[in-house]
Amino acid sequence: MIELLLTVNGTPRTIEVEVRTTLLEVLREGLLLTGTKEACGVGECGSCMILLDGEPMPSCLVLAADADRCNVETVEGLASDGVLDEIQRAFVDTGAFQCGFCTPGMLVAAKALLRDHPDATPGEIKQGLSGVLCRCGSYTKIMKAFEVLTGRKT
């Protein structure tokens, strides 16, 4: 067992984990932050996307030990004091989800994308979110959400 210090959604957390534990397991099983989902376990679907020191990363591919002393942001950290952030608001208003299983990963990826490209073009949006699969096919409505967020027609 090793002891780690993670800052999760702004709160410092000290946790003990086995060496081979993934960051996804720490979030879901250890910290009960079950918003982050696992759909493939090998980094191919993006349902478990989180921000690791600000960068989008499939948390199933990150060993928890490698996240020691890092900042981790998950879907649970988007709203503050129960108030949805602008991306969540846009997803609600445009209906940019259906079953919602990919939504936590999609929102987190969208946050990084919007931070780096506040004026993202349709091509940049599609590329920036290409790592998150949505089987319900909500992609059109996600583009609409970005129209709201960027003020630019997609």
Position 38 contacts another protein (CB under 8 A) = yes
- Taken as a whole, the chain contains a residue count of 154
Residue with tokens 């919602």: 100
Write the CB contacts of 115 (distance below 8 Å, at least 6 apart in sequence). Answer: 54
Which residues within the stretch 123-142 sit at the binding site for another protein (CB under 8 A)?
A: 125-127, 129-130, 132-142
Q: Are residues 22 and 6 in contact, defined by beta-carbon separation less than 8 angstroms?
A: no
Residues in contact with another protein, total (CB under 8 A)?
50
Position 52 contacts another protein (CB under 8 A) = no
State the minimum distance, in angstroms, from the CB of residue 10 to another protein.
15
Q: Which of 13, 63, 98, 152 binds another protein (CB under 8 A)?
A: 98
SS3 28: helix
Position 103 contacts another protein (CB under 8 A) = yes
